[in-house]
Amino acid sequence: MSSGFLTYRPKHLAKINAIRRAISQPDIYVQPVLNKGQVLFTPAAELDNEPASCYNCNFFNYEKSCKLIGEKVRIKKFVYGQPDKAIEYWPHCAAHCYGQPDYGPETFITRSDPTYMNLLWINAPKVGLELSGANCGGGNDGDDCDYYMTKIDDKRDAPEGFCRVLQSTVKNGDHCAAWGDDDKIPWQQAVSIMQEQAK
């Protein structure tokens, strides 16, 4: 007895495969819009309204290393620049998982490439903050994302804005792995700075 659906035979495959290829072609007119799961989105409420950095991440071996990256890359905040223009930089990566760092002996889950983890150091709004890091709008002593757009000049004062990556409205204190900023320091440069400062 027929189920009411066409039963494909070898003669149908060429047409079906052509349809599949046409549907899966990239659209040359529009960038793909990612969803919140694809960018590891975390709402501000789940971050306790704190900016995201290694200092409030479960994977951080406090002031030492990351459980996901391994012992070869020292991870800690630092101050860099001339005394009158010094900037404090806070470590952050795409795998941020809000929680308490590990204050005990170093432990590791894996040893991932820091470049693939998007490990970088974020400039804080001022030196000496209790906590800084990344969030969409730069509120609560965080650093804003270049993809976060608001109708007012100072993003930090806007409770919400438009995310160009997600193509939707997000809260100022939200966070995701697509965070980007022109003032960040890549991990290789940060390691060099810390080694120089340790001499």
Q: Which residue has the tokens 């039963």?
A: 7
pLDDT block averages, 10 residues each, the chain of length 199: 70 83 72 90 97 98 97 96 92 97 97 97 96 97 96 93 96 96 94 95
In angstroms, what CA-CA distances link 80 with 76, 77, 100? 13, 10, 26
Q: Residue 11 carries which side chain, given as an amino acid letter?
A: K
pLDDT tens, 71-89? 999 999 999 998 889 999 9
pLDDT tens, 129-141? 999 999 999 999 9
Instruction: Give the integer Cα–Cα distance in Å for 119 and 59.
Output: 13
Nearest to 91 by CA among 199, 174, 197, 189: 189
Q: Residue 111 carries which side chain, given as an amino acid letter?
A: R
Percentage of the chain exceeding pLDDT 70:
94
Domain ranges of the chain: 33-198
User: What DSSP line would sit under 169-182, residue for residue?
Assistant: EEETT-B-TT---T
Instruction: Give the integer Cα–Cα distance in Å for 174 and 140.
Output: 11
For 104, the 3-state DSSP assignment is: coil
pTM of the model: 0.83
Distance of CA 89 to the CA centre of its chain: 15
